[in-house]
A and B are shown apart, each in its own frame.
Chain A
Amino acid sequence: MAFEYAPAPESRSIVDIQPAYGLFINGEFVDSVDGQSFKTINPASEEVLADIVDAGPTDVDRAVAAARHAYERVWGRMPGAQRAKYLYRIARIIAERSRELAVLESIDNGKPIRESRDVDIPLVSAHFFYYAGWADKLDHAGFGPHPKPIGVAGQVIPWNFPLLMLAWKIAPALACGNTVVLKPAETTPLTALAFAEICQQADLPPGVVNIITGAGDTGRDLVNHRDVDKVAFTGSTEVGRAIAKSVAGTDKRVTLELGGKAANIIFDDAPIDQAVEGIVNGIFFNQGHVCCAGSRLLVQESIQDEVLTSLKRRMARLRVGDPLDKNTDIGAINSAAQLARIRELSEIGSAEGADAWSPPCDLPQRGFWFAPTIFTGVSQAHRIAREEIFGPVLSILTFRTPAEAVEKANNTPYGLSAGVWTEKGSRILAIADKLRAGVVWANTFNKFDPTSPFGGYKESGYGREGGRQGLEAYLAH
C-alpha cells in the first residue's frame, strides 16, 4: 500500500482580502484621481481576489510629491539611529505577521506555501533587520565620511518574489535616508498593499513609503517622472533596456536587475545526490520564476546517464498542485501570459529537436499550470538554451572538460548567476573565478542572504542589492 499524503491545506482565514484597494500615498489609502482599475486573481484557481487601481499620471505625480515632501521635511534629515527604529519596527511586524503574509503571497502569486513560509517571508524580515542595522553606521560603510541620501527613489518590482523584491528595494533606500514610490507588479499587488498597512502600523512618517499599483504605463510614468532622483528596477531585460534609454541624459541614478540564463555545472566528482537536489532547487524552486534560476544544466558527459536517471527519479517525487497545501513542491504559473510564454518556448524546444520529458503528474483543471520539464539533446544553438523561459523548464547540455564548461557557461548575453558542483575545493575556486556571473554558488543553488550582494554582469543588469554593497545605490557620494 502506498503512503499517500492527505491534503494539508494552510488556512486562508488568517488573511483578510478587501474587495478593492486604493493607492497608498502620504500614509493613507486614497482613491485614484485619473486611474482605471483591474482585477488581481489567484493563478491557482483564476478566482478574482480584489479590484486594484491602475494608477494614472496624476496619481504618480501625487505619490512622488508626497515622497519629496517627506524627504525634504522629515526622513532625509532624520538621524540614522531614528530611522533604524522604524526599520526595526517594520522588521518585527513582518516577522509577527509572517504566516498571514505567507498565505497572502501564495494566494496572489501561486507559489507553494512551503516556500513563502520558509523562504520568502523570513528573508523579507531579515532584509529589514539587516538594513536597519546600517542606518546609523553609514559613515563607516566605505562610501565617504558623510554619505548623503539621493532623494526620491522610484522603484518597480516583478511578480516572482513580490514582497521579497519590495524588501530588497525599500529596506536599503529607507536606511540611507531616501523616500520611495514603489510599484508592485500588476499580477501580485496584494502583499505590497499589506506592507503599506504595516507602514501605518509602524507609525512610519507619511510619504516615506508610497505604493502605487498599476501596469507598464504606471511604471513608465514613475520612472520618467522628473522629480524622481533614483530608479531601481527588477524585471525583464527588455523593459530594463527601455528604462536605461529613458533615463539617459537625465541625472537620475539607475540600478537594474534583469534576466538570466544561469549555468549549473555538474563535474564528474560532484556529490551526485546533493547535486540532483541542487538541480531541482535551481530550476523548479518558485516554478522556475527566478531570474537567477539554474535553467541550463551543464553536466560532464561521463556522468550524464547517472545524473539523468537520478534527476528523473527525483522529479517523479515532486508534488505539483494547490499552493496552499503544505506538501506542495511546485505551485501555479503566475499568469496566463507567462504560461503562454513557457508553452511557446517549450514547443520551440521540441520543434528544434530537443527531447522533452516530464514526470507523470495530474495538473489541476482550473488555473495556470505547467508540469516540471527537462529537455535533453539541447545544444547551445537552441533557443531554449539561450532565452530566458522563466518557468519550470530545464535545458540539459553536456561538456567534456572544465574549459569547455566555462566556455559554454559564459556563452550567453546574461550573467546573473551560476552553480558549480564538485567535491574538489581547488576546482570550485578556479571555475568560479572564470565564470562571468554576479553570483556563483558552490555545491548549492538559489541561496539568498541579506548580507550577500546580488546582481548581474552583462545584460543581467548593473548595481548590487544586498550587503554593504547594496547601500551604494542609495547614497550620493
Chain B
Amino acid sequence: MGRLNDMTVTATSLSEITRSDAALRTFLHGLPGVDAVGADARAAMLSTRSIKTTAKAYAIDLAIRMVDLTTLEGADTPGKVRALCAKAQRPDPTAPDCPAVAAVCVYPSMVATAAEELAGSGVHIASVATAFPSGQAPLSVKLDDTKAAVAAGADEIDMVINRGAFLSGRYMEVYDEIVAIKEACGSAHLKVILETGELGTYDNVRRASWIGMLGGGDFIKTSTGKVQPAATLPVTLIMLEAVRDMMELTGRQVGVKPAGGIRTSKDAIRYLVMVNETVGDRWLDPDWFRFGASTLLNDLLMQRSKMATGRYAGPDYVTLD
C-alpha cells in the first residue's frame, strides 16, 4: 500500500493522497526507505567523476546560468542589492560571452530595488518569504510576506516548510500551508525549502520532498543556508530521486535547488554530474536546476577565465559583488 507502482497516474489519485491526514501519512510512510550508508556511498562514488577540458567548460557555463545569486543578510541595503544585480547580468565584465546568472535572491524588502535593476534583463527575481528562515510565524503573516514580495516584482518565491509541524507528524498542516502559499504566489514560481539540515533522516527528506511536490512546488530546495548542514550531495540525490519518481508517476517535472555550502566550481560540477546520472539531460537547465549561492559565482568565474587564458587571475580580478 502506498508504493509508487501501486498508484495510477492521474490527478485524481494524487488528490486521493492528500484527501486526509491518514491518507497522506500512509502514502509518505509507504515510500521506499532510504539506506543512508548506500545513499552516501552513491554520492561519494559520483564525486569521483573526473570532468575535464570541454566537459568542464560546458559545466562551468551551465553552473553560472544556474546560480541564484543570493544575499540574505540583515545588513543588506539597496546599494548592495543594486551591485548584486549588476553582477548578475554581467558576471564577468571582461568576458562578454560569459552568461548571466539565473536569478537574484533577496529578502522581500529588497525586491523592489532588484526589480528596478533587473527589468528586461531576463534575470529572475527570487525572494525568500514565509518568515524565512525559521518559518515560525502565523500563516497569515507568511501569506502577507509572500504577497508583498510578489507585488514588489518577485517572480520566484522561496518559501520554508513548517519543520515543527513536519517533525511532529502533522504532514497535512505542512501540505496545506504549501498549497496556500502557492495560491498566494499567483503566477510566480514556488520553491519549497525543506531545510534538510533540520529533518534528521534521509527518509524524512524523501517524505518532505513529496509533500513539497504534492503541494504544488515548482522546485524543491534543500536549505535556507542559515542552518548547518546546508546542501549536501546525498540529500540532493534523495531529492533528485523524488523528482524523477514524480515525473515517472505523473509526467510533471519539478526542479531541484541545492542551497548553502556550495562554494567551489568543483562542488558545483559534482552536483551537475549527479543531476546528469540521476535524472539526466532534462534537468540540466536553469529552469529545472539551480544553485543557491553567494560565493560560488566568483570561483566559477575564476575557473572560467583560467580555462580561457591558462592562468589563474586571482580573487582580485573578480568583483566582490
Do residues A6 and B55 form an inter-chain contact, with CB atoms below 8 A? yes
Contact of B5 among A1, A305, A317, A326 (CB under 8 A): A305
Do residues B50 and A274 form an inter-chain contact, with CB atoms below 8 A? no
Q: How far is the CA of A277 from the CA of B53 in the complex (A)?
A: 29
Q: Does A423 contact B (CB under 8 A)?
A: yes
Contact of B58 among A1, A7, A272 (CB under 8 A): A1
- Among residues of B, the one whose C-beta sits closest to the C-beta of A118 is B48
Q: Does B205 contact A (CB under 8 A)?
A: no
- Among residues of A, the one whose C-beta sits closest to the C-beta of B48 is A114
Q: Which stretch, B29-37, B105-113, B136-144, B210-218, touches the partner chain A?
A: B29-37
* A274-B39, A306-B3, A444-B37 given; A5·B32 CB < 8 A: no
Contact of B35 among A305, A326, A443 (CB under 8 A): A443
Q: Does B82 contact A (CB under 8 A)?
A: no
A272: which B residues are within 8 A, CB to CB?
Answer: 32
Do residues B49 and A327 form an inter-chain contact, with CB atoms below 8 A? yes
Do residues B33 and A326 form an inter-chain contact, with CB atoms below 8 A? no
Do residues A306 and B55 form an inter-chain contact, with CB atoms below 8 A? no
Query: When A and B form their complex, what is the total count of cross-chain residue pairs whose Cβ atoms lie within 8 Å?
Result: 80
Q: How far is the CA of A275 from the CA of B35 in the complex (A)?
A: 9
**Interface residue tally on B, bucketed by range:** 20 to 34
Quote the shortest CB–CB distance from B247 to chain A (angstroms). Answer: 12
Contact of B4 among A2, A8, A269, A306 (CB under 8 A): A306
B56: which A residues are within 8 A, CB to CB?
Answer: 6
Do residues A327 and B284 form an inter-chain contact, with CB atoms below 8 A? no
Do residues B37 and A423 form an inter-chain contact, with CB atoms below 8 A? no
Main secondary structure of the interface of A (DSSP, over half): loop
Q: How far is the CA of A114 from the CA of B47 in the complex (A)?
A: 12
- Among residues of A, the one whose C-beta sits closest to the C-beta of B275 is A3
Quote the shortest CB–CB distance from B239 to chain A (angstroms). Answer: 12
Q: Does B227 contact A (CB under 8 A)?
A: no
Q: How far is the CA of A444 from the CA of B42 in the complex (A)?
A: 11
8 A Cβ contacts from A114-173 to B: 114, 118
Q: How far is the CA of A2 from the CA of B25 in the complex (A)?
A: 38
Q: Does A278 contact B (CB under 8 A)?
A: yes
- Encoded as 1 (CB less than 8 Å from any A CB) or 0, chain B from 271 to 283 comes to 0110011000100
Q: Does B54 contact A (CB under 8 A)?
A: yes
Do residues B284 and A269 form an inter-chain contact, with CB atoms below 8 A? no
Q: Does A364 contact B (CB under 8 A)?
A: no
B272: which A residues are within 8 A, CB to CB?
Answer: 3
Do residues B39 and A3 form an inter-chain contact, with CB atoms below 8 A? no
Contact of B34 among A1, A269, A274, A327 (CB under 8 A): A274
Quote the shortest CB–CB distance from B236 to chain A (angstroms). Answer: 13
- Among residues of A, the one whose C-beta sits closest to the C-beta of B30 is A269
- Among residues of A, the one whose C-beta sits closest to the C-beta of B241 is A273
B3: which A residues are within 8 A, CB to CB?
Answer: 303, 306
Q: Does B308 contact A (CB under 8 A)?
A: no
A8: which B residues are within 8 A, CB to CB?
Answer: 50-52
- Encoded as 1 (CB less than 8 Å from any B CB) or 0, chain A from 1 to 29 comes to 11111111000000000000000000000
Do residues A277 and B38 form an inter-chain contact, with CB atoms below 8 A? yes
Do residues A270 and B32 form an inter-chain contact, with CB atoms below 8 A? yes
* A8-B50, A114-B48, A278-B38 given; A3·B284 CB < 8 A: yes
Do residues A5 and B5 form an inter-chain contact, with CB atoms below 8 A? no
Do residues A274 and B38 form an inter-chain contact, with CB atoms below 8 A? yes
Quote the shortest CB–CB distance from A279 to chain B (angstroms). Answer: 11
A444: which B residues are within 8 A, CB to CB?
Answer: 37-38, 41
- Interface residues, chain A, with chain B CB atoms under 8 Å away: 1-8, 114, 118, 269-275, 277-278, 303, 305-306, 317, 326-327, 423, 443-444
Enumerate 5 A-B pairs (CB-CB under 8 Å) in ascending A order: A271-B32, A271-B33, A273-B42, A274-B37, A306-B3
Given A273-B32, A274-B39, 9 more A-B residue pairs with CB atoms under 8 Å apart are A3-B59, A6-B53, A8-B52, A270-B32, A277-B42, A317-B277, A443-B37, A443-B38, A444-B38
- Minimum-distance CB pairs A-B, first 3: A274-B38, A8-B50, A326-B50
- Interface residues, chain B, with chain A CB atoms under 8 Å away: 3-5, 32-35, 37-39, 41-42, 48-56, 58-59, 62, 241, 272-273, 276-277, 281, 284
